[in-house]
Chain A
């Protein structure tokens, strides 16, 4: 592989392989669930084949080797499906492979040397295959993998001049990427078969011209080999991402003429600038196959367009317009874009609200400023949207956890996923995968009872863990629910007491408070430590991870019925819709979603209790008043409750009134967290830029109420 192209290649490889692995995991788990292997076998075979091809290309032999034996295994299975097959055996093997691939690809991603070979695993798979073959008897020898056939023929081939001659044209699926490498892999395999191969474009490492030609016109080659057409078809059918395949038997004359055509094109291309004048992809050939006709026509059209417009772009757009387009973007770039847009919003306000400019009162400027603001707002919305990712991927990953756990704990558990389409910010998604994993493990290990216990309790034998996501105001709620035995308040309290985690007498703990003790470090009610949970780490890790993204966890439980853990996570960390208000010279922002109402207080409604705490009566209900200027020791001229304004805010079930000088207005603010240097302030969660370049503090309703 060309060294200069190394980095993007590896990125591409890592990305694609991860996708394949994820797909593989999904397929195998689904097939195990449905107890139906047949469709999965083909899928797994195909994935393994692609992984093998890709990693061979990149010279990751350890991965390729394992993929190769697994591919052999599934190749056998799909031709000869043994009747009394042990599915779980195969599932385990495949999952082991998945783990190995994951590990290795992660190493590649991190630039770590990967010398480890999966010898044990390879042997297991080979043994497994042998055992199937043994059970399957003599019939299994019918079809050997193609590679072995070719090995034998290799020697013979070199001596003969012309064997079977073929013209092959391959068109890859749009967007499959790395077309040149895929082509290279085909050529490489052809060489292994002992074929004499000529192909166009010649230079497959050329990422510009060569790649475009393959993309637009397909990859063409002529082969001189000993294989029959059938054998070639068999091979090509297994090449990943093929959109259209054309194999033709040709005569010696045709072979030579096409070969020289290839050379000619190559020369022409070198002469002409950046391959605008690329040759027509169709060669004059006898006997067209009707089934390929359609595809050929399409390509013809495209080629015509190509030559007419002399513009490569149009053809790319043309062929891609029909399907959804996705690109993979580095998250850091998105973060940068996000920051820049945030600054753009601020500087826009700085320009348009410039007092000197305003005093001139020029209408045309105001008009254009309004237009600009509109566009900037749209840009901001779109940037936010780009960052939103559905939870589906994260949820799907839990299937594997449930599967592993239920095998190892010997409990039958179903995972039900609800609301997978709910979207949250990319930054947040990264932080919820681990907490969810811990919660699910915990639910299965501690929550769900053994099959006997469930039978006795009159519950269905199979336990259910439900993972649900939904939007609720500015938050996303993710609920992990099990139908297990529930939490025992007494047990938790006793344990916490032993560990010295109780902060007040045991009797004073409400259910909610007692349950939330399970998130304390060092508390584990399970007597025996298992492999997965029970060491008292994990649950506190859940809370720590959640805190990073401003989320909280709430536990509810009912003895004998199950446990609910609700994770409340902000939709996005980046922007909130806030009400800006001021106290003296200081500005504060409250999330709009937590504000119930704002009003002017009347003297007759204000009550002061014996401790000097102020309260206010609103429609017969009494709310305590927090004076922000007192709470944060700020200077302000307004200290009469009747002069300022009351803002009633609600968090969970409690409501309080904040007393501030005045409301400034509703703004979308870009949230910034405080530097570590700033000490934590109760009731303030962060700060945000204001339009005038100033900074306001973001009030945190739950912190204020607590």
Chain B
């Protein structure tokens, strides 16, 4: 196991701690191709580098299998396949973000993890009613921060099996 690649979430917050107020949410951003996505930090358990994935048969195509995370067996989902994007080969920037929803842990395979961002309520626009790139139902809203567009994902719906 590649222990050294486990990045504790806390290390991100240090310089941003002071500007937390009520209508601010912390999001971890990651990229898939040219698009940037955000997940609320409360849902995230940890981030690890890509590692060996054991294939599990008879699953939806985006469920790549399971990984062994220090004794815990965690299913992993490839965001690219889930969003119908072309599959690329994993490299050393590929990460697995382990998220937790009601004690169900799932790893999300993403191209690369960027940063933790404080996003204010007023910076978030509602999800558009149509979007060709990502299935709209997984989107919570669109945030504009410093001229960057971040697609905020709804973890609950993302983890629902179709």
Contact = CB atoms under 8 A, between A and B. Distances in A.
Interface of A: 339, 342-343, 346, 585-586, 631-634, 672, 674-679, 681-682, 684, 687, 689, 693-697
B70 A343 contact: yes
Nearest to B53: A695
Contact of B71 (A342, A633, A679, A697): A342
A684 B57 contact: yes
A678 B54 CA distance: 13
Contacts of A687: 54, 66, 73
Given A633-B57, A694-B54, A675 B70 contact: no
A349 to B, nearest CB: 13
A689 B106 CA distance: 18
A681 B56 contact: yes
B54 to A, nearest CB: 4
B73 A674 contact: yes
Contacts, number: 69
A694 B75 CA distance: 14
Contact of A675 (B54, B55, B71, B105): B105
B1 interface: yes
B131 interface: no
Interface in B37-82: 52, 54-60, 63, 66-68, 70-71, 73-75
A681 B73 contact: no
Contacts of B127: none
Contact of A634 (B57, B66, B74): B57
Interface string B1-39: 100000000000000000000000000000000000000
B1 A675 contact: no
B11 to A, nearest CB: 26
Contacts of B74: 675
B59 A586 contact: no
B136 interface: no
Contacts of A634: 55, 57
Contacts of B70: 343
27 contacts: A339-B71, A343-B71, A346-B71, A585-B55, A586-B55, A632-B58, A634-B55, A672-B73, A674-B66, A674-B73, A675-B74, A675-B104, A676-B104, A677-B63, A677-B159, A677-B161, A678-B66, A679-B58, A679-B161, A681-B59, A684-B57, A693-B1, A694-B52, A694-B54, A695-B54, A695-B66, A696-B54
B135 to A, nearest CB: 18
B83 to A, nearest CB: 18
Interface in B71-97: 71, 73-75
A696 B66 CA distance: 10
A487 B70 CA distance: 51
Contacts of A676: 104
A675 B57 contact: no
A695 B75 CA distance: 12
A671 to B, nearest CB: 10
Contacts of A678: 56, 59, 63, 66, 75
B75 to A, nearest CB: 5
